[in-house]
Structure 1
């Protein structure tokens, strides 16, 4: 049977969906990271967050992400907190490259990358973590996961997570400096207002929506946390917007060819979109 745009997107989803075992190496460092931070700074709990936890991770690009709830008094500067966590881990894992990439401290282990997001319990619930744009932001990772799951369950086959994964694949393969968390929450919010999920149609209109709002920050759809920013700075947004324009053009062409039953040309545009 000849390939169609729909089957091509399904194959893309399968290819970039990580298997459960692909991150065993990275996840194996959790206990030693937690023990070190508890010894130096004090830890209430450490739990998995991010795209792998949500089921929207991208093979070869997503990392194992953990939020670490720290004891003590929240410092004035979020960077101070990140620096203390980095120094504590670097002293324990001396041969490992450890960097700060707000809101995380990134540990580049030989068998996988672990992103540690430190934070403090916030009054009223949630956690105060470093804002990539500077300062602090309130985050509710467990509630965000629940929100995505609820929207995902509305559509047969899990449309919200598939759309989020497609947007993330585009981001990574086309080197677009947009927050993965932002794309995931935008995908879920977009499909919350749709009655059905059709991959090639919703991919185009989700990208077109991002273009129409010029990657504007979004309110937390749960109504709990801080706004989600799309990019870490004005400079990165300036880099992202022309790439988004190109993506909208290619997804529109793919959709037009798809509706005309010209599957070869539709797939050709999808390959350009995802740099395949």
Structure 2
């Protein structure tokens, strides 16, 4: 029984991994953006500019093809005090200032401020820049949020990375793989959950999941059990690591989770009976054609 599961999910996971060229491209572009801002705000040229990678690249959960690389860029404290003297939406003013500096380096690129980030729209992959001010020496920062008149938002990106890393270590490397696969479900089925929410949900689930140490042979059950668990999380709060901010999940995504749960149940039944093609067809309804139908 279950003769196709291990091969199916191993190939699926391999299909999602970034290629060496994609990694080099993303790393090179984010480094160039950080160098540009370092010159603008610190008046020096360096190969080791301020800032660091966050988001899915920082957590090692990015999937191919990559859409963006998220980075934090630490600004001098003096910039914060200067921006605080402005009238109106100070955070929007900061994003526009950062955008202006980047346009000097990348005049042919589409660059725009959007809510909390400045997006540099390169052809192959976008770089999303969070201009941030160090709040303390424990890894927390203030970042701009232009919504609702503007505010400074306290964040701890390294704590979010560490939270997923701990869950991954505690699950034999399965938490990151699960997050990557579930991000593919998000893309394929237009699920209204944010990537960081999926990562936090996976980390929470895998921390106590009884089968978390097993390999790809168990991934049909991983998916079945995760979707069933996810369906119980409507209107639940997620706690953001480091700042302990509560984010409510709402339930806009619930019907898609219920559909995925039901399809996973059907797929698991087919896998049990070694109806590998029928199982593959069900999995593709969840994850699209990146998970194979034919595995033997």
The verdict on a shared fold, with TM-score over 0.5 as the criterion, is yes
| Aligned residue in 2 for 1:227 | 246
The total of aligned residue pairs comes to 268
Give the CA deviation at 1:111: 4.0
> TM-score, with normalisation over the residues of structure 2?
0.78
Given the superposition, is the C-alpha separation of residues 172 and 215 from structure 1 closer, same or farther in structure 2, using an over 3 Å criterion? Answer: farther
Cα 1:131/1:215, change in 2 over 3 Å: farther
Residue deviations 1:67-95 (CA, integer Å, cap 9, x gap)? 11112216564333323222321233111
Q: TM-score, normalised by structure 1?
A: 0.83
Please report how far the alpha carbon of residue 245 of structure 1 lies from its aligned counterpart in structure 2 after TM superposition: 2.9
Aligned: 1:65 with 2:65: no
The answer to whether residue 217 in structure 2 is matched with residue 212 in structure 1 is no
Cα root mean square deviation, aligned: 2.9
For residues 104-183 of structure 1, what are the structure 2 equivalents within 5 Å? Answer: 104-123=117-136, 125=138, 126-130=140-144, 135-156=151-172, 158-183=173-198
| CA distance in structure 1 between the aligned counterparts of 2:6 and 2:153, rounded to whole angstroms | 39
Is the partner of 1:94 in helix, strand or coil? coil
Tell me the SS of whatever aligns to 2:21.
Answer: helix
1:47–1:67 contact (8 Å) kept in structure 2: yes
Distance 1:229 1:101 in 2: 22
Distance in 1, matches of 2:146 and 2:258, equals: 24
Larger radius of gyration: 2
Q: Which structure is richer in relative contact order (CA contacts within 8 A, separation 6 or more)?
A: 2
Q: Are residues 215 and 25 of structure 1, via their aligned partners in 2, closer, same or farther at CA, if it must alter by over 3 Å? A: farther
Q: What does 1:12-51 correspond to in 2, within 5 Å?
A: 12-42=12-42, 45-51=50-56
Cα–Cα, structure 1 residues 271 and 30, in superposed 2: closer, same or farther, change >3 Å?
A: closer
2:280 to 267, 270, 273: 267
Is the contact made by 1:204 and 1:255 (CA closer than 8 Å) also made in structure 2?
Answer: yes
Distance in 2 of aligned mates of 1:255 and 1:246: 14
In terms of mean alpha carbon deviation, does 78-87 or 161-170 score higher?
78-87
Instruction: Find the aligned partners of 1:140 and 1:229 in 2 and give their Cα distance.
Output: 18
Name whichever of 112-121 and 202-211 sits farther off: 202-211
Provide structure 2 residue ranges, at least 5 long, that are not aligned to the other structure: 44-48, 213-217, 290-296
Offset, 1:229? 5.8
Contact 1:4 1:267 in 2 (8 A): no
**SS of 2:35's equivalent?**
helix
